[in-house]
Structure 1
Amino acid sequence: MASLKDVAKLANVSLMTVSRALNSPERLKPETLSRVQSAIDATNYVPDLSAKKIRGAHAIAKTIGVLALDTVTTPFSVEITLSIEETARAHGWNSFVVNMFSDDSPENMVDLLLSHRPDGIIYTTMGLRQVPLPEKLLNLPCVLANCESLHQQVASYIPDDEQGQYAAVRALLSAGYRRPLCLHLPAAHLATVRRRKGLEQACREAGVAPETLGHYYMAFGDEHYRDIPAVVQAHIHQQKPLFDSVICGNDRIAFMVYQTLMAQGLRIPEDVAVIGYDNMVGIGDLFLPPLSTVQLPHYEIGRLSALHIIEGKAHRDVIKVDSPLLLRQSMNAVK
């Protein structure tokens, strides 16, 4: 990569002249500025923004540093980081992402992030969780996206999982379904606990005792999605389901449910309604019939988190972002 010295040598000027061409071009004679700019083009020189910021140069776009824990392991991270990037650009800011995996040293990753001299920090995770926040991050404006601080009070933007599940179950029960089979994500997941609250509230309002429903909690680990068919089949006797609908912890569970029901000769939604959660990127409409599900608001979480930094908001509240219900053909409007 070309350096400042390479540009100065090619343009036959001093390092100070090149620096002025980058930071204060109005201070140079037009012919000198043109010579430096030609040298920059010829060497493909890229200015060091962090170095310019340290020197106190003016008119340098402010930067959001994103510390992303495990988020590259899911397509949902695309929406969070894309939203942060688009929001930053729309307001004249830049953003960059440092990916951190579970086996990385948090201290080393934080030091790497801070070495780029961000003006604010967004800490985001794959899957709603509570995280211990490194103290160094709190030396700058900091906000959490899709996670909550385990110890400190820090502004957070998270999905409203209780509201999302409540809306889905209420719609299901309002359509006349009364015997749902509930296939939850692992019990220890923060989202699972909150979604169960939303489910129970909707059931009680509809006069359905939630404890009388069939509840199954998936074990932790992707390999346990393969357990779903056996759970569903255990509730089908002589090709007749003991349930009239299935409430799925996410769309991946719903995919397994679809395959199992169809293999048993059961129709969706004529025999059994299915409702998912997440609205997996690019997948919901590919189910046949299209899957009713709840949208995880990751794009909106990214946008609000970026605006928190850009607008210099000072609150330290946990903000729950609405998770909208997307009604498609896997559930009858009236039953």
Structure 2
Amino acid sequence: MTSLKDVAKRASVSLMTVSRAINNPGLLSQETYRRVKLAIEELNYVPDFSARKIRGEGAPPSIGVLALDTATTPFSVDLLLSLEKTAQQHGWSTFVVNLFDDNDAEQAVDKLLSFRPAGIVFTTMGLRKVHIPERLSGKPLVLANCVTDDRAVASYIPDDFHGQYLATHKMITQGYRKPLCIYLPDCTLAGVRRRQGFELAWQEAGVPDAARQQHLPFGDQYYLDTAKIIAAHLRDGRPDFDLLVCGNDRIAFVAYQYLLAAGLRIPQDVAILGYDNMVGIGELFLPALSTVQLPHLDIGREAALHIIEQRNDVETHQLSSPLLLRASTR
């Protein structure tokens, strides 16, 4: 492995000069910095930040990410990517420690703290309420895509209520009057808040209350119940609803398969509104799915900046979830 001494020899400079080129390039002349940089590139030298930390030298500050399902599923990967990119832009580094069960976090927290992060971001896949491990008490901490009742701590989450409210308002202005709503389980924060947003928009519009609403049971195995619910609202093969409001894009995915297999057209016979703009899937529906964008990129960025800028507030910040209108609605 290439050492600092190898770089110094190739650039014909001292070890101190190479160190300055890495940590304080402004102290060097442009020509000297160019020579050191060229030597680093030619030798593929990678600074050993762990060794520098042991020696008490200036390694980049780091953000430790405690990830509950965030890194092990495809649905919220944008959050982690945005967090890391923001940290890099500010000269920070990040590392992820996966948490597989928020009720048994001791080992994961010990591992995370062993790296001595300057701050910690606790993230989850899907908005949920979490328990903060006791060992994180007093540490610079921010929550991303989750909230807690344990103690006052800042969090950055999607504004699911207003996301659904604004999307529903748009559907009403497009003329839909007979929606069928299939929500996420009513034991989930997103399921409850999205239903509340829909109901307020519908009430404020003053249109006849023809909405049929239903929550799926909790558990991935119940997504297929979407087909059964839709089947119960077909009369002689025709839907008794003009708009299907889906709790997320996975529900919409099942709905597409069932409706198209039944010979129904989207949106001519039934319009479909999703939620999440699921990573890697949201744009692959045919016809393209109208959906609400979860602000995972914004959540990751703001959570990183909360640590980097040493923000002191302990508020719950709800970030905007915009509607993406596509071909599945008029």
- TM-score computed with the length of structure 1 as normaliser: 0.84
Cα offset, 1:55, TM superposition = 4.0
- Structure 2 gaps of 5+ residues are 9-13, 25-34
Q: Residues 23 and 57 of structure 1 are in contact (CA less than 8 Å); yes or no, is this contact kept in structure 2?
A: no
Aligned equivalents of 2:192, 2:173: Cα separation in 1: 23
Percent of matched pairs sharing the same residue = 54
Aligned equivalents of 1:208, 1:309: Cα separation in 2: 46
- The change in CA–CA distance for 1:22 and 1:219 in structure 2 (over 3 A counts) is farther
Aligned equivalents of 2:164, 2:86: Cα separation in 1: 28
Q: Residues 159 and 319 of structure 2 are in contact (CA less than 8 Å); yes or no, is this contact kept in structure 1?
A: yes
Q: Residues 177 and 208 of structure 2 are in contact (CA less than 8 Å); yes or no, is this contact kept in structure 1?
A: no
| Structure 2 residue matching 1:285: 3-state secondary structure | coil
Cα offset, 1:50, TM superposition = 3.9
Q: Higher mean Cα deviation, 70-79 or 318-327?
A: 70-79
| Structure 1 residue matching 2:66: 3-state secondary structure | strand
Q: Does 1:234 align with 2:235?
A: no
Q: Higher mean Cα deviation, 318-327 or 93-102?
A: 93-102
- The change in CA–CA distance for 1:45 and 1:92 in structure 2 (over 3 A counts) is closer
Q: Residues 64 and 96 of structure 2 are in contact (CA less than 8 Å); yes or no, is this contact kept in structure 1?
A: yes
Q: Residues 293 and 322 of structure 2 are in contact (CA less than 8 Å); yes or no, is this contact kept in structure 1?
A: yes
| Structure 1 residue matching 2:283: 3-state secondary structure | helix
- TM-score computed with the length of structure 2 as normaliser: 0.86
Q: Does 1:138 align with 2:137?
A: yes
* Moved >3 Å (runs of 4+): 20-26, 44-48
- The aligned amino acid for 1:57 is E
What is the CA deviation profile of residues 299-320 of structure 1, one whole-angstrom value per residue up to 9, with x for unaligned ones? Answer: 1100010011111111010000
- Tell me the residue number matched to 2:53: 53
Q: Does 1:246 align with 2:244?
A: yes
- The change in CA–CA distance for 1:231 and 1:311 in structure 2 (over 3 A counts) is same
- The aligned amino acid for 1:215 is Q
Q: Residues 76 and 298 of structure 1 are in contact (CA less than 8 Å); yes or no, is this contact kept in structure 2?
A: no
What is the CA deviation profile of residues 102-161 of structure 1, one whole-angstrom value per residue up to 9, with x for unaligned ones? Answer: 288311101100101111111100110111111322333111000012211100000000
- Tell me the residue number matched to 1:257: 255
- Tell me the residue number matched to 1:120: 119
Matches within 5 A, 1:164-203: 164-203=163-202
Q: Does 1:320 align with 2:318?
A: yes
Residue-pair matches, total: 314
Cα offset, 1:172, TM superposition = 0.8
- The change in CA–CA distance for 1:104 and 1:129 in structure 2 (over 3 A counts) is closer
- Tell me the residue number matched to 1:31: none
Q: CA RMSD in A?
A: 3.0
- Structure 1 gaps of 5+ residues are 12-16, 27-33
